[in-house]
Amino acid sequence: MDHLGLWIAGFLTLGIYSFLYRDNPWYKLSESIFIGVSAGYWVVTEFWQNFVGKFWDQKGDDPWLWIGAVLGLMMLMRLFPKIGWISRWPLAFVVGATSGFWMMNYLTTNCMAQVQATIIPLLGLGYEASAVMIFSNIVLVVGTFCGVAYFFFSKAHTGVFGATARVGVWTIMVTFGAMFALTIMNRMSLLIGRTSFIFGEWLGLIR
């Protein structure tokens, strides 16, 4: 059985990578199997975890669960065009509850904590900072200020303000470059993982 599993995995891996040559039936088969298996796995897991685990098994213990069940049922009304509007009610509930849940979280972690992180002694006053740390602090503060300035559209980007916004654009570009590089690193890691599987676990060619 292990042998069969290895061969199926190897066959499908090569099938997916065959797209690099050109689109072909082998790729399409591999892609379809992947999508089908993923979707099937999700459906089964979510059914047993959510519907059975969280509602069906406990429906007698907690009457509040019935509210969730009814909202869930209302959400499925989208499948019937004539009464599809009913699905907007549970959707409104989800949007409202999620917004309320995240409002304070975002404010504390993505706003206040980030503002606090930029209020630092630039030249390392008050603590022993290395030259690298001082440089890093300056880049952080200047980059943040200029980046925010770029998104201030109530004033024309000319003169000193224009130059500040320009530095902001460059900072953003450098950020995108770093993100692009890390994305490449991630994709390469995935490829390395599959290549290692093909030459190592499957064909046993790596010592």
For binding to another protein (CB under 8 A), which residues are involved? 6-7, 10, 20-21, 41-42, 45-46, 49-50, 54, 101-102, 105-106, 108-110, 113-114, 116-117, 140, 175, 178-179, 182-196, 199-200, 202-207
The maximal CA–CA distance of the chain, rounded, in angstroms, is 72
Q: How far is the CB of 154 from another protein (least distance, A)?
A: 26
For another protein, which is the closer residue by CB, 93 or 195? Answer: 195
For another protein, which is the closer residue by CB, 92 or 181? Answer: 181
CA–CA separation, 118 vs 42, rounded Å? 42
Count CA atoms closer than 13 A to 186's CA, side-chain side. 6
Pick from 117, 96, 98: which is nearest to 106 by CA? 98
Q: How far is the CB of 58 from another protein (least distance, A)?
A: 9
Q: How far is the CB of 114 from another protein (least distance, A)?
A: 6
CA–CA separation, 74 vs 69, rounded Å? 9
For another protein, which is the closer residue by CB, 82 or 207? Answer: 207
Which amino acid would we find at residue 122?
Answer: L
The contacts found for 143-150 with CB under 8 angstroms, 24 or more apart, are 143/167, 143/168, 143/171, 144/118, 146/171, 147/171, 147/172
Q: How far is the CB of 169 from another protein (least distance, A)?
A: 18
For another protein, which is the closer residue by CB, 74 or 198? Answer: 198
For another protein, which is the closer residue by CB, 67 or 188? Answer: 188
Q: How far is the CB of 70 from another protein (least distance, A)?
A: 18
For another protein, which is the closer residue by CB, 41 or 66? Answer: 41
Residue 73 structure tokens: 């049922």
Residue 24 structure tokens: 């072909």
Distance from chain centroid for Cα 158: 37
Q: How far is the CB of 204 from another protein (least distance, A)?
A: 4
Pick from 63, 10, 57, 34: which is nearest to 196 by CA? 10
